[in-house]
A and B are shown apart, each in its own frame.
Chain A
Amino acid sequence: MGRVVAAMSGGVDSSVAAALLAQDAATSGDEVIGVWMRLHPDRGEGWEASRSCCSPDAADDARRVAQIAGIPFFVLNLEREFGARVIDAFADGYLEGATPNPCQTCNQYIKFDELLRRGLAAYGAERVATGHYARVDKVGQQYLLRTAADADKDQTYFLWVLDQEQLAHTAFPLGELTKPQVRGIAADLGLPTAHKPESQEICFVPAGDYRALLAERRGYDGEPGPIVDAEGTRVGTHTGYAHYTVGQRHGLGVALGEAVYVREVRPGSNTVVIGSRQEVAAQQFAVDGRRFVAGEPPAERFAAHVRIRHRAPAVRAEVTLVGDERFAVETAEPVWAPAPGQAAVLYQDDICLGGGRIARAQ
């Protein structure tokens, strides 16, 4: 018997996760506590729109689900923490010429750190549960992070940062379910979130346009600069290096006969380098800030599958540790546009070993 904090976003996945825990609690004697995190400001609807007293739709949905599941529901304000750890880091990532990974930083610093610590301390909880599609198994004294039963929905790409201590206090009630099953459960329980469309965009970047955010958070308006090809020949003009990400094709305003993509973003010289499809692909890249779920790497050199963006296929690779922080990856076949800042996540079968962030080419 213990308490578990169900992180509820107002989406269908976390709604079903909370509802399933509440159902189990009836027999297990656990106590489930629903928590909705206020992560960024949301404008009210009145003329005097302000941040107090107006809860956004997502919080309303989460509260209704908690009511139906019969669990207590609290709003936790983490605007400051999310602003500093996730939104600012997101903006800084672009300013460094990288492609930030905000869902992963949110998991690392907000859901499985701030919420976990607050949940353990304030609510006397033992675990935090989320609606992620992933599995945690305890084998001997080891907690293993495993991919979800629904390979299509697997979210370990955003969870590789979790360590043993965090996994010991984590539950993923949806790990064995498929998305259609989850929607079915939501409909059967009459949850208002059952038919909510999937959200694909970053929660704090409305309409996917992060340029306004760079201006607002970091005063970056973008200064036009050169777009160059592999030989350094100027082929166009960009609106500001931070507006571009590696692998991007659209919005370059360059017509060279063949399709071109952003190959590299150079903040120092405010330059965007483009290349052909072949030039943007790679078989070797370096990864920085390595972490392993087990705490230790499996070996100095080992075979694994590597995934370099969410939902991209995991590709067979050789991994070699370099120094204390890095590893080098050599893939069996070319992978599309390894983007500095994005995670390279390692797998052996369905076990997520950990990963790191793709480093800038030296």
Chain B
Amino acid sequence: MSVYLDHAATTPLRPEVLQAMQPYLTEHFGNPSSIHGIGRQARLGLDEAREAVAQALGAKPREIVFTGGGTEADNLAIKGAAWAASARGRELVVSSIEHKAVTQSVAVMERYGFRTTWLAVDRYGRVDPADVASAIGEHTTLVSVMYANNEVGSVQPVAEIGAICRQGGALFHVDAVQAAGFLPLDVDALGADLLSLSGHKLHGPKGVGALFVRQGTALLAQQSGGAQERQRRAGTENVAAAVGFAQALQLAQQERAHEGARLAALRDSLIAEMAALPGVSLTGHPTERLPNSASFVIDGVEGGDLVAALDLEGIAASTGSACTTGSAEPSHVLLAMGLEPEVAHGSLRLTLGRGNDEDDVRLTVEATRRVLERMRGAGERRPEVASV
């Protein structure tokens, strides 16, 4: 028995995606920049992939920059746009619940003298658009608010924020890595000037992502060495990965309405049954959340212990972000939502995906009940060792 409930960390490659990639890993091995026919074949795959991604976003192909993943897309957006606009201003406005790909990119800019206004969130992990309006000043060049949070799944009012940014004359970056595949991605409706995507979160390959860069948005490349991606990302393109990513994004968009409703129903029963267990409380917004995301804090339990215990029961879960495993610091997202550090240590994230069904929900709830009983019982069974 094995249940995978960590789709926010990564997802398995879909067979259709692998099939689409295969020719570009074998016979169409060319370099898209080559003059000859073999190169042109690779270029064809890359161009079609770019068109497909652009179409999914309501964007132009030239506005799509393929990157080595979502983290690179965030880095390029924050550092690239902040530097390019630095003659005009050096002030950034960023939500306090961004992924570390954003917060640590911002931290690097702060070392160069950029200043940041960190946006608070409410107890559900949502940014108030009014806060964005008051945070944007004369020298603000860039605002970054994620579409949906990776730890608690809360969906942000990005379209409202986008309109405010346009009015305030600041660029708007949206990290849509977790939202893609579940929420509409029309960049005009969102008011996004920059938008980050990742392949492996939506059943595509790892090591590929994309940054949407609205035409006319100046960007300082973070990687030098070639004219690829319109001089915004040097290096020979990872053609097969771009093809797979585009295929995965297309499939996700096509199936979004149907699969989203199915997952939302599963999520709701998962949340209801988990929250009925003693000491388990939901984190994030009860309804304004990703259809696949359920997140909790659990009284008196270390999240990492619980996840290890669930793994031994055949349930693959997470404490929150896969990138902070082994860290002593509680989640910055939960702290920003006002949770006490002791409470935040007991976090558990369960994220559903295409392969999951009602049985998985049942098995997960049963395993959690079993493990929690043991963890709580054992805490009392063994007396504290007397100190010397």
Contact with B along A49-71 (1 / 0, CB 8 A): 01111010001000000000000
B residues in contact with A109, CB < 8 Å = 385, 387
A33 pairs with B326, CB closer than 8 A: no
B residues in contact with A324, CB < 8 Å = none
A residues in contact with B311, CB < 8 Å = 72, 74
- The one of A108, A121, A357 that contacts B385, using a Cβ cutoff of 8 Å: A108
Q: Given the complex of chains A and B, what is the CA–CA distance between A76 and B100 in angstroms?
A: 22
Contact with A along B107-136 (1 / 0, CB 8 A): 110000000000000000000000000000
A interface secondary structure, majority: mixed
One of A161-169, A206-214, A243-251, A304-312 at the interface = A161-169
B306 at the binding interface (Cβ < 8 Å): yes
| 10 intermolecular pairs with C-beta atoms under 8 Å apart | A51-B327, A52-B100, A53-B324, A53-B327, A118-B305, A120-B381, A124-B371, A163-B385, A166-B385, A289-B388
How far in angstroms is the closest Cβ of chain A from B309?
A: 5
B residues in contact with A75, CB < 8 Å = 304, 325-326
How far in angstroms is the closest Cβ of chain B from A4?
A: 12
A residues in contact with B108, CB < 8 Å = 48
B378 at the binding interface (Cβ < 8 Å): yes
Given contacts A52-B100, A117-B378, A122-B306, contact A108 B388 (CB under 8 A): yes
B374 pairs with A124, CB closer than 8 A: yes
A residues in contact with B329, CB < 8 Å = 51-52
B379 at the binding interface (Cβ < 8 Å): yes
A residues in contact with B312, CB < 8 Å = 3, 31, 33, 72, 123-124
Chain B: CB-nearest residue to A83: B328
Q: Given the complex of chains A and B, what is the CA–CA distance between A196 and B326 in angstroms?
A: 24
Given contacts A108-B388, A117-B379, A357-B388, contact A123 B308 (CB under 8 A): yes
Contacts A48-B108, A50-B104, A52-B329 known; 17 new A-B pairs at CB < 8 A: A3-B312, A33-B312, A48-B107, A53-B327, A72-B312, A74-B308, A75-B326, A77-B327, A79-B328, A108-B388, A112-B385, A118-B305, A121-B375, A121-B378, A122-B306, A165-B382, A291-B388
How far in angstroms is the closest Cβ of chain B from A343?
A: 9
Chain A: CB-nearest residue to B104: A48
A38 at the binding interface (Cβ < 8 Å): yes
A43 at the binding interface (Cβ < 8 Å): no
Q: Given the complex of chains A and B, what is the CA–CA distance between A162 and B69 in angstroms?
A: 50
A residues in contact with B385, CB < 8 Å = 108-109, 112-113, 163, 165-166
B383 at the binding interface (Cβ < 8 Å): yes
Chain B: CB-nearest residue to A163: B385
B374 pairs with A121, CB closer than 8 A: yes
A residues in contact with B328, CB < 8 Å = 38, 51, 77, 79-80
A residues in contact with B383, CB < 8 Å = 165
B323 at the binding interface (Cβ < 8 Å): yes
How far in angstroms is the closest Cβ of chain A from B31?
A: 30
What is B's interface to A at a CB cutoff of 8 Å? 100, 104, 107-108, 302, 304-306, 308-309, 311-312, 323-329, 371, 374-379, 381-383, 385-388
Q: 8 shortest A-B CB distances, which residue pairs?
A: A121-B378, A122-B305, A79-B328, A75-B326, A52-B327, A289-B388, A74-B308, A121-B375
How far in angstroms is the closest Cβ of chain A from B342?
A: 11
Chain A: CB-nearest residue to B100: A52
A residues in contact with B371, CB < 8 Å = 122, 124
A residues in contact with B382, CB < 8 Å = 116-117, 120, 165
How far in angstroms is the closest Cβ of chain A from B32?
A: 31
B residues in contact with A165, CB < 8 Å = 382-383, 385
A121 pairs with B327, CB closer than 8 A: no
B323 pairs with A123, CB closer than 8 A: no
B residues in contact with A120, CB < 8 Å = 378, 381-382
Q: Given the complex of chains A and B, what is the CA–CA distance between A172 and B311 in angstroms?
A: 26
Given contacts A120-B378, A121-B375, A122-B309, contact A76 B304 (CB under 8 A): yes
B residues in contact with A38, CB < 8 Å = 326, 328
A residues in contact with B376, CB < 8 Å = 121
Chain B: CB-nearest residue to A355: B388
B residues in contact with A80, CB < 8 Å = 328
A residues in contact with B104, CB < 8 Å = 48, 50
How far in angstroms is the closest Cβ of chain B from A223?
A: 30
A residues in contact with B326, CB < 8 Å = 38, 52-53, 55, 59, 75, 77
How far in angstroms is the closest Cβ of chain B from A13?
A: 23
B327 pairs with A122, CB closer than 8 A: no
- Between A52, A116, A117, A289, the greatest number of chain B beta carbons within 10 A of the residue's beta carbon is seen for A52
Chain B: CB-nearest residue to A78: B328
Chain A: CB-nearest residue to B377: A121
Residues 121-156 of A at the B interface (beta carbon under 8 Å) = 121-124
A52 pairs with B324, CB closer than 8 A: yes
Q: Given the complex of chains A and B, what is the CA–CA distance between A80 and B328 in angstroms?
A: 7
Q: Given the complex of chains A and B, what is the CA–CA distance between A109 and B385 in angstroms?
A: 8
Q: Given the complex of chains A and B, what is the CA–CA distance between A356 and B306 in angstroms?
A: 37
How far in angstroms is the closest Cβ of chain A from B248?
A: 25
A123 pairs with B309, CB closer than 8 A: yes
How far in angstroms is the closest Cβ of chain B from A169?
A: 8
A77 pairs with B324, CB closer than 8 A: no
- Between B104, B108, B378, B385, the greatest number of chain A beta carbons within 10 A of the residue's beta carbon is seen for B385
How far in angstroms is the closest Cβ of chain B from A147?
A: 21
B residues in contact with A117, CB < 8 Å = 378-379, 382
Q: Given the complex of chains A and B, what is the CA–CA distance between A59 and B328 in angstroms?
A: 15
B residues in contact with A116, CB < 8 Å = 382
Contact with B along A332-360 (1 / 0, CB 8 A): 00000000000000000000000011000
Residues 78-114 of A at the B interface (beta carbon under 8 Å) = 79-80, 108-109, 112-113
